[in-house]
Amino acid sequence: MKHIHEALSWASSFLESKGREGFAAEILLRHVLGGLSRTELMMKMRDEMKRDDFEAFERAVSLHAEGEPVQYITGYEEFYGRTFTVNREVLIPRPETEELVEHVLYLVKKYSHVKKMVDVGTGSGAISVTLALENDELNVSTVDIAHESIEVAEKNAAALGATVTFMHGDLLQPLISGGMKVDAVVSNPPYIPDADILELETIVKDREPYRALSGGTDGLDFYRRFMEELPLVLNDGGFIGFEVGGGQGEPVAEMLRLTFPGALVYVKHDISGKDRMVFAESVRIKS
């Protein structure tokens, strides 16, 4: 039977030979061994691996080599310091979305009247659950077109103790039909141009839900629809926060300037220097 360090060395080399990141082997190994921390794993490196554990590890490594994301194999991803359950019905939360959440929380402090907020495109609940937990004065709702995604997000909210209102529907339609108004709208909508999806790695395009990726021919379809619906749900003086794809910052900012003349509209870059977020503050609704 292999020692743990031998199993890890084999898996890292195998994954790299298949064009995957070698460090994924460690994540999978820690998962198979019962959710060990990195330190705990280091302390067990000379231990022999049980046959059942090694066979489970082999299966996990093979799955990842074939293109299954590590997060769908382990069933979770970390976001803003918390563990979120994920499966193939939801987009895997990305680190750059943490930056969107961080700035939204800053704006909530800046505009003390902002209490009611909606997150559009629930997914795993990473955005809505995090906002609700980070600021308990917020009344957070979230909308998704897929019941399957909402089920995952509801489980995450319950597990993490977040109070979030879940709504099923298309973009802001549930609010419009219910006559609901909010002080802020935040969204990380699908924004990848359809042609670009074909160029994505198998691990993304063939495994993560297409509905969470496709933004139409130029990737901007959902933002155009937002411009029609936002004026119907926003209270005066509110704000909007979007995540966008690379190169989409200015086009989306221009849409917001045309829709909300006089609002403070700007593009924010992420830690990698990409135009990743667009915000509109002090939005005024034309009567």
Average per-residue pLDDT for the chain: 88
Q: What is the pLDDT of residue 219?
A: 72
Question: Is the pLDDT score of 244 beyond 60?
Answer: yes
Q: What is the pLDDT of residue 69?
A: 87
Q: What is the pLDDT of residue 211?
A: 54
From 122-126, 221-225, 254-258, the region with the lowest mean pLDDT: 221-225
Average pLDDT over residues 238-243: 95
Average pLDDT over residues 105-125: 94
- How far is residue 174's CA from residue 143's CA, in Å, rounded to a whole number? 8
Question: Is the pLDDT score of 156 beyond 80?
Answer: yes
Rounded to an integer, what is the distance from CA 264 to the centroid of its chain?
A: 25
* Binding site feature residues: 121-125, 144, 188-191
Q: What is the pLDDT of residue 88?
A: 84
Question: Is the pLDDT score of 214 beyond 60?
Answer: no
Question: Is the pLDDT score of 30 beyond 50?
Answer: yes
DSSP string, 204-224: HHTTS-GGGTB--SSS-HHHH
**Angle between the 249-259 and 221-233 helix axes, to the nearest 10 degrees?**
30
* Binding site feature residues for S-adenosyl-L-methionine: 121-125, 144, 188
Q: What is the pLDDT of residue 205?
A: 45
Q: What is the pLDDT of residue 110?
A: 94
Higher pLDDT, 275 or 194: 275
Cα dist from 279 to 56, 250, 261, 284, whole Å: 45, 11, 14, 14
**pLDDT (tens digit, 9 = 90+) per residue, 189-213?**
876 766 565 555 555 544 555 554 5
Domain range 88-283, its CATH number among 3.40.309.10, 3.40.80.10, 3.40.50.150, 3.90.1150.10: 3.40.50.150
Q: What is the pLDDT of residue 36?
A: 86
For a pLDDT cut of 70, what percent of the chain falls above it? 90
Average pLDDT over residues 174-189: 95
Q: Would you say 184 and 240 are in contact if contact means Cβ atoms under 8 Å apart?
A: yes
Q: What is the pLDDT of residue 172?
A: 94
Q: What is the pLDDT of residue 239?
A: 96
* Binding site feature residues for substrate: 188-191
Rounded to an integer, what is the distance from CA 24 to the centroid of its chain?
A: 20
Confidence of residue 255 (pLDDT cuts 50, 70, 90): very high
Average pLDDT over residues 266-273: 91
Q: What is the pLDDT of residue 202?
A: 54
Q: What is the pLDDT of residue 206?
A: 46
